[in-house]
Homo-oligomer: A and B are copies of this chain.
Amino acid sequence: MNPAFSENSQSDQESIRDKIVATADEFFAHYGFQKTTMDEIARKLHKAKGALYYYFKGKEELYTEVIKREIDTVRSALNEVIRQDTDPVAKLENYFTVRFKALNQCVNYHETMKADFRESYDFVNPVREEFEQYERQEIKNILSTGKSSGHFSLSDIDTSVDVIMILLNSIEVPLYLKGMYNKYQNIIFEMTTILFDGLKKNKP
């Protein structure tokens, strides 16, 4: 489970697991969850379908793993931004830019969002929620340090975080589900600017 524990045999095991996830990713991204079959994935890997069930409980768990890795990519990119030693304003700005760009790559994640209007993909909710919690925490951190350092003037940080979270999540719909990411990029930039002028401390 933990990569740090991987021995020779387990390294192979992980490697196969990874290959399964990678192949599943391709199919899911191409044909979506429903239209992808476990048999297809197995065949592509020159394995029998049953082998997949040695690594994953079922199709849903495999799909969830694919989504999880997509989200992890975003998280890594965001961690990189957070790690940097920049002032809170620049950090939050970077956070937004990187988030939109990285999330734009998450084909399967968008698929579930789109599908959520038709049917429910509840089984990915844990992943979504976990990421939301992560983001909430990180944004709160940035705002908190920004408030302490006098970069932001905020009365209630938690509410500000709520606002930002809702804005981030809301704007995903036109951006990704309607494929307007490239078209709206300059508008996103302007939006962040306005938002930041609102969050920033007014220069006295």
Residues in chain A within 8 A of chain B (CB atoms): 114, 117-118, 156, 159-160, 162-163, 166-167, 169-171, 173-174, 177, 184, 186-187, 190-191, 193-199, 202-203
**Complexed CA–CA distance, A193 and B167 (Å):** 14
A54 to chain B, nearest CB (A): 37
**Complexed CA–CA distance, A177 and B177 (Å):** 15
What's the number of copies of this chain in the assembled complex?
A: 2
**Complexed CA–CA distance, A11 and B171 (Å):** 46
Residue of B nearest to A162 (CB): B187
**Complexed CA–CA distance, A179 and B184 (Å):** 26
A188 to chain B, nearest CB (A): 9
**Complexed CA–CA distance, A114 and B191 (Å):** 25
A156 to chain B, nearest CB (A): 8
Chain B contacts of A190 at CB under 8 A?
156, 159-160, 162-163
**Complexed CA–CA distance, A162 and B189 (Å):** 11
What are 7 pairs between A and B in contact, CB < 8 Å?
A: A156-B190, A159-B190, A166-B187, A167-B167, A169-B174, A194-B199, A195-B195
